Structure 1
């Protein structure tokens, strides 16, 4: 389909990719950029100006059908939300450990395919451009320092630690080693050395210049949080209501976990059952962990294809990758490139462990792989001209993370948790997401802890209380605890998108069941829902109702 609205979205994505090579890489765009984008203040202003111009032009274009209406609604919502974040000065304090620019630039180098000489030339180009990209980002942070628009000191120090770790382990040297001998080896080696030097300079800047002038407060306050929540959810919600809903959901999940414990360890407690499972349901060694992950990914694909989904053969190429660098707290997913030359990948932090608890991580495979992110994002990549390029490229965390958490619940509904403790692992993971809601909203808005919880957690939020709630109520793995809370502090509004997104997906499915009665078909609903592509949560139910 080619309409003026689709053409405008395509133009926006092409122009964005040309100026922001890292975003282009994450979106899977393989053409139109050379690694020399401007990450400085002028580049940020240019991106904002492009968004404003695109919105103005969008308002002049007619909608010629349902696909146009979906495309225009989504483009308008996303660009408006992004501009609100720009206007509050977030670009001046974009320190977001551990999933911010420090990690994004590292992944940018090796996310693309690198087997052919042309692909290795791209890798060399990215390494060559690394010092300039980091310098531009530092300029933005310097502008924030100069006018008092600063991030929290904790974010600066954690980002410095992350960058220092990349230098310590020679993170970019692995690219040179993988290349081996050839005409680009010297250039790659020089690029890796320059990238390490640029990261080393960043460490000094963050520790010696930025951190002493950063704010002590981890919370961002209600104004900034409302903007961030809109960006994460694609909806304006009653945040105080969501906070109290999160507490109620957490307590309900704890009740379910207590009941499930009796299947694992009759007479035990949640804590004793977890200890028992950690001692009995595991694999030893990174190689065994990787093999287990791969097997479960393949099994899930085989279970779903043809039954509850029709999975395109091109989506069955899903790579599973271990992350050995310290700093990443949790597994994550990166989608395939637009032309599918770069496969989709799920990434799994090793975090210094030798033993890996399989009972608790199985549900995360379904979240990151299928029927979660890979099925949703992969199918979107294959949509062709049924979706505008803008819609295929500009996701909403509440939509995608909500779907992935819905996918975990779907796996439970399909009876997949037959191994000991795996259903408890799913419930524990869902409780973690409920704990995220109360931590993220409570900490950033400085809301009082409910009266029925104060004996356990005190009356007010701070970083240490957030760690305590995540440890004791979210029951997160030890290696993920501190990185997770640091993440919530630096990325406000994202942690709530999982549970609140799942709530929206379940409500939409329940509505369809009630409306269609005996005519409701789960496979057909899944297909239609994924074919819709990403939309904000405020329009999700309405669009699904029309399918």
Structure 2
């Protein structure tokens, strides 16, 4: 999963919209360093009206989420955003008015680029307005993502002004947390909360932040002020920041931890299905629409998942035979889960294996795309405070993170697919290209659709079969395990939220169909329970891209070249899946008309 997932309210959109507002995500921070894009002037009245609409909404959104313009770029201000019900009602009303204004613009008078802008803008507005209207802010975290975990920067700030704004935000944490607590109280009162069964151990992610010593991540951050900020300014910033953390931020974290443990966890709901929330079936359908970006029913998705699970199971049987294993598929999976040869002995070994795979991939990128980004990512371990409940890996612009906690649950045979997906040519690579993309409106730079982003990530795992990345049948089985994992999600997510599946049913289904470690199986199922619909985007986006590739190969024949095909997808940036289909088919038609050459 991408760190850019960078995706704005359900729980995730709420948490990550605030993350953009706080400026702590790598893509947002790095984008501030790039020169502002220069857009071509609008061609007519309709284009002018559209551009005015999305520009005004973007500037309003920055102000609303406490960002200020510095050197021509929006950056985090010295305050946290408001999350009161009144603030969200105001946002919902504004987004609804903006949608009405968008409806009045004649789309048939827009040029191609502005039609794409309009489609992206609409999908983003619809999701934001719907989630504000559903009041998802009353459950402002899930088993995977926490509003309190995006305050501390992943990399140190480079200017005195940025450090001072950060200190200002830290001083505002008490007010911000109090508003979140009040929202959670309102959610509990109406039966809208995170399912209790998914929250075991999540409260421990707060514990490091209530410590008064240097083990507190916020205090440790002030020891990382770079020497490029001269003395005595550096010492003053460190002293002031540590004082604010000790006097204001730590007490706020302690109050939140006490509330979570004494009030929230005992009272949160014991049901698991989204359909059991107030108006839950309609809510779940809205989440399907948001994450899949097309109109599909739960039944349609469930049936697709069952068919794909059956297909991948047959491929797994074939790989098991190539491995020379004499036994059933279940026995082969147990062998993979338990044999020490498949597991790293130290965190350094796991990170070293990931790094080696990443360099092997580097040698193949020139055959995959025509445009290589300048920006480079590093490989880092997942932070200790979140590692016990975190997924195996995440990729973003600055870094590709791998979880080194509980090494017996991190099989090395899964690592090639994980590096492809999270690092390159997956999310880190994708984020770098987005940073260096052709000129487009600011809101396009910051909009993320899971179907596009996660679909590309899963597609890159398949691309590894064309790149020679999978060196053994075990690694190929790891890839199929990852593909099965995403296909099984279609069955599990709809089973949980529409068809009455229990958590145990979902765990058993995922465990019996993949070679994922038990720890990952449980972590993943809890994510699906507490984050309805998001897991559906991966496989449907993947199948969309794979089907488009098959269509391009069929239509272009020997003239098919995967490099411009991939460039077409990546240069678009994040778009709804129907837009992706339309643009790739335009590419196919143009290439066909010129015999495969660039038009």
Give the TM-score range, shorter chain.
0.7 to 0.9
Contact 1:232/1:397 (8 A) holds in 2: yes
Query: 1:170 is matched with which residue: 212, 216, 227?
Result: 216
Q: Residue 406 of structure 1 aligns with which residue?
A: 459
Q: Residue 404 of structure 2 aligns with which residue?
A: 350
Cα 1:200–1:469, aligned 2, differ >3 Å: closer, same or farther? Answer: farther
Query: 1:136 is matched with which residue: 165, 172, 179?
Result: 179
Q: Displacement of 1:253 after TM fit?
A: 1.4
Q: Displacement of 1:402 after TM fit?
A: 0.8
Contact 2:364/2:467 (8 A) holds in 1: no
Cα 1:191–1:263, aligned 2, differ >3 Å: closer, same or farther? Answer: farther
- Asked if residue 252 in structure 1 is aligned to residue 311 in structure 2, the reply is yes
Q: Displacement of 1:109 after TM fit?
A: 1.6
Q: Residue 481 of structure 2 aligns with which residue?
A: 428
Task: State how 1:311-326 maps to structure 2 within 5 Å.
Answer: 311-325=371-385, 326=388
Q: SS at 2:272's partner residue? A: coil
Query: 1:375 is matched with which residue: 429, 437, 450?
Result: 429
Q: Residue 187 of structure 1 aligns with which residue?
A: 240
1:185 and 1:418 mapped to 2: Cα distance?
Answer: 49
Root mean square deviation, CA, Å: 2.8
- Asked if residue 332 in structure 1 is aligned to residue 394 in structure 2, the reply is yes
Task: State how 1:533-544 maps to structure 2 within 5 Å.
Answer: 533-544=573-584
Contact 1:283/1:358 (8 A) holds in 2: yes
Contact 1:297/1:370 (8 A) holds in 2: yes
Q: Residue 486 of structure 1 aligns with which residue?
A: 526
1:192 and 1:291 mapped to 2: Cα distance?
Answer: 35
1:191 and 1:322 mapped to 2: Cα distance?
Answer: 27
- Asked if residue 34 in structure 1 is aligned to residue 78 in structure 2, the reply is yes
Deviations 1:419-451 (A, max 9, x none): 45211110011111122111111010025xxxx
Q: Residue 8 of structure 1 aligns with which residue?
A: 53
Structure 1 residues 283-292 or 361-370, which shifts more?
Answer: 283-292
Cα 1:296–1:15, aligned 2, differ >3 Å: closer, same or farther? Answer: farther
Contact 1:470/1:481 (8 A) holds in 2: yes
Q: Displacement of 1:66 after TM fit?
A: 0.4
Q: Displacement of 1:59 after TM fit?
A: 3.4
Query: 2:505 is matched with which residue: 465, 469, 473?
Result: 465
- Asked if residue 308 in structure 1 is aligned to residue 372 in structure 2, the reply is no
Query: 2:299 is matched with which residue: 219, 236, 240?
Result: 240
Q: Displacement of 1:356 after TM fit?
A: 4.7
Q: Residue 47 of structure 1 aligns with which residue?
A: 91
Cα 1:112–1:97, aligned 2, differ >3 Å: closer, same or farther? Answer: same
The alignment's TM-score, normalised by the length of structure 2, stands at 0.79
Query: 1:391 is matched with which residue: 444, 450, 455?
Result: 444
Cα 1:313–1:90, aligned 2, differ >3 Å: closer, same or farther? Answer: closer
Structure 1 residues 523-532 or 247-256, which shifts more?
Answer: 247-256
Q: Residue 455 of structure 1 aligns with which residue?
A: none
Cα 1:508–1:355, aligned 2, differ >3 Å: closer, same or farther? Answer: closer
Q: Which runs of 5+ in 1 are unaligned?
A: 336-343, 448-460
Task: State how 1:189-204 maps to structure 2 within 5 Å.
Answer: 189-193=242-246, 194-204=248-258
Cα 1:291–1:261, aligned 2, differ >3 Å: closer, same or farther? Answer: same
Cα 1:291–1:130, aligned 2, differ >3 Å: closer, same or farther? Answer: farther
Deviations 1:457-512 (A, max 9, x none): xxxx1012112222222332233232222111111001111111111111222222
Q: Displacement of 1:158 after TM fit?
A: 5.3
2:74 and 2:156 mapped to 1: Cα distance?
Answer: 10
Deviations 1:315-357 (A, max 9, x none): 334453433222212311233xxxxxxxx22222222437853
- Asked if residue 299 in structure 1 is aligned to residue 345 in structure 2, the reply is no
Q: Which runs of 5+ in 2 are unaligned?
A: 1-38, 43-47, 227-233, 276-280, 588-599
Q: Displacement of 1:72 after TM fit?
A: 0.3
Query: 1:365 is matched with which residue: 414, 419, 423?
Result: 419
Q: Residue 230 of structure 2 aligns with which residue?
A: none
2:351 and 2:164 mapped to 1: Cα distance?
Answer: 30
Cα 1:417–1:434, aligned 2, differ >3 Å: closer, same or farther? Answer: same
1:287 and 1:484 mapped to 2: Cα distance?
Answer: 25
1:256 and 1:438 mapped to 2: Cα distance?
Answer: 19
Contact 1:6/1:389 (8 A) holds in 2: no
1:205 and 1:324 mapped to 2: Cα distance?
Answer: 23
Q: Residue 339 of structure 1 aligns with which residue?
A: none
2:536 and 2:115 mapped to 1: Cα distance?
Answer: 28
Contact 1:323/1:348 (8 A) holds in 2: no
Q: Displacement of 1:368 after TM fit?
A: 0.7
Q: SS at 2:525's partner residue? A: helix
Contact 1:40/1:135 (8 A) holds in 2: no
- Asked if residue 504 in structure 1 is aligned to residue 547 in structure 2, the reply is no
Cα 1:118–1:354, aligned 2, differ >3 Å: closer, same or farther? Answer: farther
Contact 1:156/1:207 (8 A) holds in 2: no
Q: SS at 1:183's partner residue? A: helix
Contact 1:9/1:389 (8 A) holds in 2: no
Task: State how 1:200-279 maps to structure 2 within 5 Å.
Answer: 200-221=254-275, 222-274=281-333, 275=335, 278-279=339-340
Q: Displacement of 1:155 after TM fit?
A: 4.9
1:41 and 1:495 mapped to 2: Cα distance?
Answer: 28
Query: 1:528 is matched with which residue: 538, 543, 568?
Result: 568
Cα 1:475–1:393, aligned 2, differ >3 Å: closer, same or farther? Answer: same
Aligned length: 517
The alignment's TM-score, normalised by the length of structure 1, stands at 0.86
1:470 and 1:280 mapped to 2: Cα distance?
Answer: 23
